[in-house]
Amino acid sequence: MGSIEQQLECREKAEYADVNWDELGFALTKTDYMYVMTCCEDEEKFSQGTLTPFGNIELCPSSGILNYGQGLFEGLKAYRKEDEGILLFRPEENAMRMKMGAERMCMPSPTIEQFIDAVKKTVLANKRWVPPHGRGALYIRPLLMGTGPNLGLKPASEYTFLAYASPVGNYHKGDMKLIVEDKLYRATPGGTGSVKAVTNYSPIYKALTQAKAKGFSDVLFLDALTGRNIEEGSACNIFILKGNVISTPTAHGTILPGITRKSIIEISLTLGYQVEEQAVPIEEVFDAEEVFCTGTAMVLKAVASITYQGKRIEYKLGKETVAQKLYATLTGIQTGLIEDKMGWTVEIY
């Protein structure tokens, strides 16, 4: 990381926006720039993108995204190191997932190189909004939208890729208390549950709103086919721990293959845990020692309790938990405190 003198010199050169970093939650703070590029039906690839001041965009009332929900989004973070350097975490994984989602939604997508370049340029243009080390992250939200006009039901004739950013803090504050939803379902076999389609999210608002009105943090959804297996939360994957075994539902088509999920599986294996990706019946949570959720927004969060059909199960929390060990390892890599032997981080200048 360089000498203390070098680190101090970097700190003196760093410019920060006027933000109370200690009060950041997970909400939009408008930053300086966004990155935009387009692709028309007579073009084979996206055009060279441009940075433009952050602001509203103009859409035709009959655009594919507004009328038929033809759109995807991604989410990733940039972290500030102790020496003021900036790290991205596994951006190529987001790029590949967007390509997979675009194929499912009949959309062209940026190349992996275009995606990563767009993210880098968005971060650098907004680098004064990257929080100081250990006080949050810059969340980058790439969007892929059908913006061409369509009255009939068909893929759009024009597409827009847009990336914007916002500094963020914790996604969930306080203990995480889940309630199992056994009447509404997040995804169905053959649907779009395994991609980040924009249409996956608003249908869960009803369940989430009802849960929060009862004092819960989030909803744990069951599979639509049998109603017996746990799948994921409203915006997170789930893991359970029993002894040395960490289990998580298989990402088989109705579950989003989360990048944080993938990273935690790989870290768990390197730390000597046995990881099982399989169907996880709801009964398995009754005698789990620990339960935790993962996602880009929340990173990794231990679950304090799960309530199912009036029965509340509580789990181990605290500094000595496996969840805390995994969280410390992951965030250490993300922020440059731990050597990245996985090759996951990308430093940008």
* Phi, psi dihedral angles at 222 (to 5 degrees): -100, 165
CA–CA dist 239, 346 (Å, integer): 27
Q: Give residue 218's region: left, alpha or beta (phi > 0; psi -120 to 50).
A: beta
120 noted as active-site residue: no
The distance of Cα 99 from the centroid of its chain, to the nearest Å, equals 16
- Using a 10 angstrom Cβ sphere, with 0-12 exposed, 13-18 middle and 19 or more buried, the burial of residue 306 is buried
Catalytically annotated residue among 77, 81, 99, 196: 196
Burial letters for 281-297: b for 16+ Cβ neighbours within 10 Å, e otherwise? ebebbeebebbbbbbbb
Helix, strand and coil content of the chain, in percent to the nearest 5, comes to 25, 30, 45
Give how far the C-alpha of residue 147 lies from the chain's centroid of Cα atoms, to the nearest Å: 24
Cα of first residue to Cα of last residue in the chain, in angstroms, is: 15
Indicate which residues carry an active-site annotation: 196
